[in-house]
Structure 1
Amino acid sequence: MVVMKMRFPFEKRVKLAQGLWILSWCATIAGATTFTLGCILKTELRRRAEVMDNSDIHIVPNTLIIVGLASLAINYFASKICQDALDAGRFPRWKNFLKPYFAVSCFFTVLMLLAVIMSYAMKGSLESSLKIGLRNGIRFYKDTDTPGRCFQKQNIDRMQMEFQCCGNNDFRDWFEVQWISNRYLNFNCKEVKDRIKSNVDGRYLVDGVPFSCCNPSSPRPCLQHQLTNNSAHYNYDYQAEELNIYLRGCREALVNYFMGLMNTISAGVLSIFLLQGSVLVSLRFLQTAMEALDGNENSEIETEGYLLEKGVKETVMEYLDPVLKFFLLKNQVQEGMAEEGASTASPP
């Protein structure tokens, strides 16, 4: 059953080819845009690699980069096909090329849609990655002399100031780790000795936060230390007063930032997907309308174009059959080699 059959007079075919040529170059620019968006997202994720536990989230920018590059090639060839469609004598040279071209184009177009879906679905993975990564980042904050962690303190401080956040979930996360290096502690001081002895792991824990947690918009000078001790500061109430440090955790801030970035990119990629789909549909109509001219000397006659020669299921199976036969043949060869190896290894 033919799907979406349309009639194309000569003038309509010419307009379709000309319009499609413009559309294909617009899609080429859109492909370059997709590639650029993927690079931007990957760069931002790499900037925060030290506070991320895994790289699963990189599948989204990697997919966008691959799809963007493929879109450049796909739409470049689409523009060349449109040019040759204006000359009925030159169009037949594309005949054997178009079937694999449409298969590859549809694959990458669907992949573009999957990248959009993945960008929304990766929020859970992003949260868990940041949760573990930030926890480790805070734990290694003091290790400025350890190779591989020399810039950990600098990165954490810059991140907290840039995103106006403090800690992983909130500022209390700093109370649970020793974030002051031993090299800056006076072990002859009784207070330091008592704090270390009072801790099972022998760590120097304080109810304070690094300077990067301070909120510069607060009218009060920053209180970094003894945040839970009301008597340590004048006119201060830890429970009732809004502290002059950032109250939002960095995990929440980073998740909101990256999801906002990915949502914006996804909206752009979705519009590019619709543009790419329009190019493929229009090119399919042009192909079938031009193929109807085969063997006809009069190139100005009216022809019929269609989207699919058969039903959707039959068309999908037509493209999948060669792939399935290839893997079936490959499995049969492997099974035959395994049986031959078993018979050779068995005793006579």
Structure 2
Amino acid sequence: MAVLKVTFTKTKRGKLAQALWFLNWVSVVTGILLLSLGLFLKVEIQKQRELMSEREVHTMPDVLIAVGLAACGINFLGGKMCGEGADVAAFLRWKALMLPYIAGTFCFTFCLLAGALLCHAMRGELEESLSQGLRDAMCSYKDTDTPGRCSLKRAVDMLQIQFQCCGNAGFRDWFQVQWVSNHYLDVSSAEVADRLRSNVEGKYLMDWVPFSCCNLNSPRPCIQHQITNNSAHFNYDHRTDNLNLWMGGCRQALLNYYTQIMHSIGSIVLLIWLFELSVLTGVRYLQTSMENVLRQGDPESESDGWLLENSFAETARYNFNIIKNLGKCYQGDEDDDPNINVPTSVQCSPENVPSKQISLALAS
């Protein structure tokens, strides 16, 4: 029994074809939108690429760009086919491409859905990438004369100023790394030598933070040296909330920024997926109704259109049997061991798995 069967008159088939022609060209515009969103996300991630570790988050913009280009190509072809789809003579010219087009569009809509869900599920990967990247960048903050790292100081300072944050999780992260280069330390000084000997791995650790951690809205001059030493500053208590530093960590600030972007893009992609799914449904109805017109031989007659010619269970069973037979045939062709007997019930001839049936199964 056909699934969601609808009866179309000649007039309804013409209106459906015209509507699908328009919707496919609208879908070309949505493909350009996807491409633009991918380029925008790629630029935004590229801005902070030095502060992120190499993870799957960098592939997300490329996925959007590829899906956008595919949307433009698929919907351009769909617009050409549907513009002439209600005419029997024109349908005969496109008939051979209809099934591959529907199968390809179905795979494309699946990729769209996967992309939308991926945008909403990348928070964990993004947080790990930012945490590791910021940790490495802070450790290389002092390496201004090392090739490949000389720009990290500027990148970290600009990040802390722009996003009003300090450190990875907070300003105390700077206490655990040596962020002052040895070029600017007087190692002949007893105080500096003493600190280098007493700290872990001979590092110059101190309760100081870079200038970029200073809160620009603070009414008093920035206290970035001896932050935990109350006696070193007048009218100062480091345990209060009056510290004139940015209190939030840069990891959380960047995470919120990119999460908001990805969630917005994911919602847009989800809406585009629903739109593309409706277009695909309409094309399927047009294709099946026109094929029934050809079977009846009367272009003026009514015809039935459906999503699946058989029920979901029958279609799934039919497709599974085809895939299973193809797998057995492939195994029989590849296996050269004469002791292994292929069951005689498995026939690998073209008559057993005709290409037309395979195409119909994939389209269903």
TM-score normalised according to structure 2 size: 0.88
Letter in 1 for 2:163: F
Unaligned runs of 5+ in 2: 341-364
Letter in 2 for 1:107: C
Could you tell me which residue of structure 2 aligns to residue 226 of structure 1? 226
Could you tell me which residue of structure 2 aligns to residue 116 of structure 1? 116
Could you tell me which residue of structure 2 aligns to residue 50 of structure 1? 50
Contact kept, 8 Å, 1:165 with 1:253, in 2: the verdict is: yes
Unaligned runs of 5+ in 1: 341-348
Kindly state the Cα deviation for residue 90 of structure 1 after the two structures are TM-superposed.
Answer: 1.2
Kindly state the Cα deviation for residue 178 of structure 1 after the two structures are TM-superposed.
Answer: 0.4
Counterparts in 2 of 1:101 and 1:180: CA distance versus 1, 3 Å: same
The question of 1:335 aligning with 2:343 is answered no
Contact kept, 8 Å, 1:63 with 1:112, in 2: the verdict is: no
Kindly state the Cα deviation for residue 49 of structure 1 after the two structures are TM-superposed.
Answer: 2.1
Kindly state the Cα deviation for residue 298 of structure 1 after the two structures are TM-superposed.
Answer: 4.1
Counting matched residue pairs gives 340
- Percent identity between the aligned chains? 45
Task: Name the SS of the counterpart of 2:246 in structure 1.
Answer: coil
Could you tell me which residue of structure 1 aligns to residue 189 of structure 2? 189
Task: Name the SS of the counterpart of 1:7 in structure 2.
Answer: strand
Runs of 4+ in 1 over 3 A off after TM superposition: 295-298, 313-335, 337-340
Task: Name the SS of the counterpart of 1:17 in structure 2.
Answer: helix
Contact kept, 8 Å, 1:50 with 1:137, in 2: the verdict is: yes
Aligned pairs (5 A) from 1:217-256: 217-256=217-256
Structure 1: how far apart are the matches of 2:324 and 2:151?
Answer: 52
Contact kept, 8 Å, 1:63 with 1:111, in 2: the verdict is: no
Counterparts in 2 of 1:331 and 1:216: CA distance versus 1, 3 Å: farther
Could you tell me which residue of structure 2 aligns to residue 9 of structure 1? 9
Could you tell me which residue of structure 1 aligns to residue 76 of structure 2? 76
Could you tell me which residue of structure 2 aligns to residue 161 of structure 1? 161
Counterparts in 2 of 1:53 and 1:332: CA distance versus 1, 3 Å: farther
Kindly state the Cα deviation for residue 319 of structure 1 after the two structures are TM-superposed.
Answer: 5.2
Kindly state the Cα deviation for residue 138 of structure 1 after the two structures are TM-superposed.
Answer: 0.4
Kindly state the Cα deviation for residue 181 of structure 1 after the two structures are TM-superposed.
Answer: 0.3
Task: Name the SS of the counterpart of 1:304 in structure 2.
Answer: strand
Structure 2: how far apart are the matches of 1:96 and 1:63?
Answer: 29
Contact kept, 8 Å, 2:293 with 2:302, in 1: the verdict is: no
Kindly state the Cα deviation for residue 50 of structure 1 after the two structures are TM-superposed.
Answer: 1.8
Kindly state the Cα deviation for residue 299 of structure 1 after the two structures are TM-superposed.
Answer: 2.1
Contact kept, 8 Å, 1:103 with 1:319, in 2: the verdict is: no
Structure 1: how far apart are the matches of 2:339 and 2:240?
Answer: 78
Counterparts in 2 of 1:2 and 1:148: CA distance versus 1, 3 Å: same
Task: Name the SS of the counterpart of 1:294 in structure 2.
Answer: helix
Could you tell me which residue of structure 1 aligns to residue 356 of structure 2? none
Structure 1: how far apart are the matches of 2:182 and 2:94?
Answer: 72
Aligned pairs (5 A) from 1:1-348: 1-294=1-294, 298-316=298-316, 318=318, 325-336=325-336
RMSD of aligned Cα (Å) = 2.1
Contact kept, 8 Å, 1:223 with 1:244, in 2: the verdict is: yes
Letter in 2 for 1:123: R
Range with bigger deviation, 42-51 or 68-77: 42-51
Deviations along 1:42-75, one digit per CA (max 9) or x if unpaired, are 2222322222222211343232222211111111
Counterparts in 2 of 1:99 and 1:213: CA distance versus 1, 3 Å: same
Contact kept, 8 Å, 1:4 with 1:307, in 2: the verdict is: yes
